[in-house]
């Protein structure tokens, strides 16, 4: 290709490429331009000059249309960024949290946080709010006030010796903070507006210097006093420190009886009835074993109970009356093996302001706080005996049995046993030696008997029971009688210690009679009656 042809091809390619640029004109029939004495270098220079002029015009228009005050902020930030490019974060407070004695905070509210006890090798420092020493505080939130302001750093300096604090929201700050340390040193700062360019940062003033600080470090200084009150009504201890709930009583206006349950140390060690039996036993309104899954919340969820909201601090007598606390709808009394007794009371229901949830007014342990507990968490206000009981009738470990007297079908079996396990346990029947394995299998049938429906407010039949079992344990802690009454051809009633407790099919009594009759033989015992 000749040198002239190569030059013409280059100019054609440049023209075609130029059609996609800002300076190109629409051409229907492209023609190869004729050179008229202007070099490519000169054309490129002219294009660059035009581009710079246009860009400058656009920038000028944008700057002229900015609000004056916003321009000022952006300009001062830009200047400060140049100052801080090499410096990085700016340490505003050299004092450490370990030496902090008090914090004065003025926002919508005004309050003082002060140290109650200093940090030791084993414990952290404890702080409270003046005037609310009797109110449980959220230690996590309080710690942010103590730690975040101590050794506080800014992301960068915005303006040094600022004359106009208003443009940063600092002429009337959302929070003013004064932190006082053990040696008398004070650190003061104010919190202003959120940065228009960095929404995770806010303007803070230390003296007349304005900085940008991460909002997460200073946001809690803008909170009112009640933000720091704990909504946890009763702290939940660590697992290794969790006390045993020895008894729990629920007294409620809509029930004619109390629900009362106790911890059974023997039951806690007994695995003979499987995983459905709990370590607690219901004694009122009837004797019944509890279902571990269904009863666990009722027994233990007072620990860690968290309110939906705090309705009122230091409520007045009038407030308590309106909340129904002078005559509670429900009172729960929990006694623990650490010697502590906790009393939880529920008053009237209402709708919470923020979450719009149905809640009960509630108080605990005479703490001077009126809480609002969501009805879904107030399990004690609706629970019925049948909701938490196990279907099991017998729950005694077989090797714990001292006496087992069974009367059914006109026949009576009297068993006496002693020992601790399958290797040491011996048993007699009607005064004669009895095969231990035969006795164990017979008792296994009794363990399989379960109530099909809980009976309450039923009268005991005036007739003699169709079958009856009396059981005592070797340690003397369990002594109960289970009586069976046929109510019709299909149904029967089970009474525990003379109290009607469960409904069951009458075929269960027939099966019990059958097993008593075949005890002295070798036939296997029937285990079901359905």
Beta bridge partners of residue 389, listed in sequence order: 290
Closest CA to 177 of 239, 112, 126, 127: 112
Tokens in use for 162? 């600022």
Q: What are phi and psi of 43, to 5 degrees?
A: -60, -40
HSE on the CB side for 145, CA within 13 Å? 35
Go through 184-211 and write b for each residue having 16 or more CB atoms within 10 A of its CB, e for each that does not.
eeebebbbbebbeeeeebbbbbbeebbb
Quick one: residue 246, left, alpha or beta (phi over 0 = left, psi -120 to 50 = alpha)?
Answer: alpha
Paired residues of 335 in beta bridges: 247, 341
| Residues near 418 by beta carbon (within 8 Å), at least 6 away in sequence | 402, 425, 426, 474
Does this model's pTM top 0.85? My answer is no
Considering only CA atoms, give the Rg of the chain.
41
DSSP 106-163: ESSSEEEEEEEE---SSS--EEEETT-TTS-B-HHHHHHHHHHHTT-EESEEEETT-S
What structural domains does the chain harbor?
90-228 (no CATH), 241-385 (no CATH), 398-517 (3.30.1490)
- The DSSP result for 153-173, as a single string, is EESEEEETT-S--GGGT-SS-
In total, the chain counts a number of residues equal to 530
Helix (H, G, I), strand (E, B) or coil at 240: helix
DSSP string, 326-348: TS-SEEEEEEETTS-EEEEEEEE
If we measure between CA atoms, which residue out of 478, 450, 466, 447 comes closest to residue 283?
478
pLDDT in tens, the chain (530 residues): 434 443 444 444 433 333 333 333 333 333 333 334 444 443 444 444 444 444 444 333 333 344 344 434 444 444 444 444 445 689 999 999 999 999 999 999 999 999 999 988 888 999 999 999 999 999 999 999 999 999 999 999 999 999 999 999 999 999 999 999 999 999 999 999 999 988 899 999 999 999 999 999 999 999 999 999 999 999 999 999 999 999 999 999 999 999 999 998 876 665 444 444 578 999 999 888 898 899 999 999 999 999 999 999 999 999 999 999 999 999 999 999 999 999 999 999 999 987 889 999 999 998 999 999 999 999 999 999 989 998 889 988 999 999 999 999 999 999 999 999 999 999 999 999 999 999 999 999 999 998 888 888 788 888 999 999 999 999 998 899 999 999 998 999 999 999 899 999 999 999 999 999 999 999 999 999 87
Between β-strands 432-434 and 491-496, what pairing exists: parallel, antiparallel or unpaired? unpaired
Other beta carbons less than 10 A from residue 458's beta carbon: 15
Contact 279, 263 (CB under 8 A): yes
Query: Quick one: which of 237, 367, 223, 377 has its CA closest to 308?
Result: 377
Q: In this structure, is the dihedral angle defined by the CA atoms of residues 53, 59, 63 and 66, taken in order, positive or negative?
A: positive
Q: Euclidean distance between the first and final Cα of the chain, in Å? A: 105
Q: Say how far apart CA 345 and CA 363 lie, in whole Å.
A: 5
């Amino acid at each position: 290709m000749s040198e002239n042809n190569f030059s013409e091809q280059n100019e054609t390619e440049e023209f075609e490429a130029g059609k996609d640029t800002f300076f190109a004109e629409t051409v229907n029939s492209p023609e190869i331009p004729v050179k008229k004495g202007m070099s490519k270098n000169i054309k490129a220079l002219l294009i660059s000059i035009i581009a710079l002029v246009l860009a400058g015009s656009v920038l000028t228009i944008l700057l002229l249309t900015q609000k004056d005050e916003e321009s000022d902020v952006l300009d001062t930030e830009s200047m400060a960024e140049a100052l801080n490019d090499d410096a990085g974060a700016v340490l505003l407070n050299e004092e450490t949290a370990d030496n902090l004695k008090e914090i004065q905070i003025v926002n919508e509210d005004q309050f003082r946080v002060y140290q109650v006890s200093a940090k030791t090798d084993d414990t952290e420092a404890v702080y409270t709010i003046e005037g609310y020493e009797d109110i449980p505080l959220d230690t996590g939130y309080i710690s942010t006030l103590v730690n975040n302001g101590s050794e506080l750093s800014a992301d960068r300096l915005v303006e040094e010796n600022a004359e106009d604090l208003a443009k940063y929201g600092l002429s009337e700050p959302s929070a003013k903070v004064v932190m006082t340390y053990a040696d008398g040193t004070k650190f003061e700062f104010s919190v202003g507006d959120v940065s228009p360019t960095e929404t995770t940062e806010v303007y803070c003033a230390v003296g007349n210097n304005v900085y940008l600080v991460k909002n997460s470090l200073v946001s809690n200084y803008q909170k009112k006093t009640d933000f720091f009150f704990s909504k946890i009504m009763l702290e939940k201890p660590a697992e290794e420190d969790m006390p045993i709930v020895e008894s729990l009583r629920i007294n409620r206006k809509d029930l004619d009886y109390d629900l009362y349950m106790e911890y059974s140390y023997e039951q806690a060690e007994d695995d003979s009835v499987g995983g459905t039996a709990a370590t607690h036993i219901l004694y009122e309104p009837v004797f019944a074993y509890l279902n571990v899954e269904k009863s666990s919340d009722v027994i233990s969820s007072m620990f860690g109970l968290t309110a939906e909201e705090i309705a009122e601090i230091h409520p007045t007598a009038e407030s308590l009356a309106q909340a129904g606390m002078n005559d509670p709808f429900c009172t729960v009394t929990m006694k623990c093996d650490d010697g502590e007794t906790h009393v939880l009371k529920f008053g009237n229901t209402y709708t919470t302001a923020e979450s719009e949830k149905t809640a009960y007014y509630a108080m605990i342990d005479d703490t001077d706080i009126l809480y609002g507990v969501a009805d879904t968490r107030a399990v004690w206000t609706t629970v019925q005996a049948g909701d938490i009981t196990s279907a099991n009738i017998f729950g005694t470990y077989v090797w714990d049995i001292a006496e087992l007297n069974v009367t059914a079908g006109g026949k009576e079996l009297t068993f006496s046993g002693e020992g601790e396990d399958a290797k040491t346990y011996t048993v007699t029947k009607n005064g004669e030696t009895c095969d231990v394995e035969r006795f164990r299998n017979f008792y296994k049938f009794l363990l399989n008997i379960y109530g099909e429906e809980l009976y309450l407010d039923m009268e005991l039949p005036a007739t003699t029971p169709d079958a009856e079992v009396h059981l005592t344990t070797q340690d003397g802690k369990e002594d109960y009688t289970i009586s069976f009454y046929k109510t019709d051809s299909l149904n029967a009633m089970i009474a525990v210690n003379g109290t009607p407790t469960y409904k069951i099919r009458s075929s269960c009594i027939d099966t019990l009679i059958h097993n008593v009759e075949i005890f002295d033989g070798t036939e296997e015992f029937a285990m079901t009656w359905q």
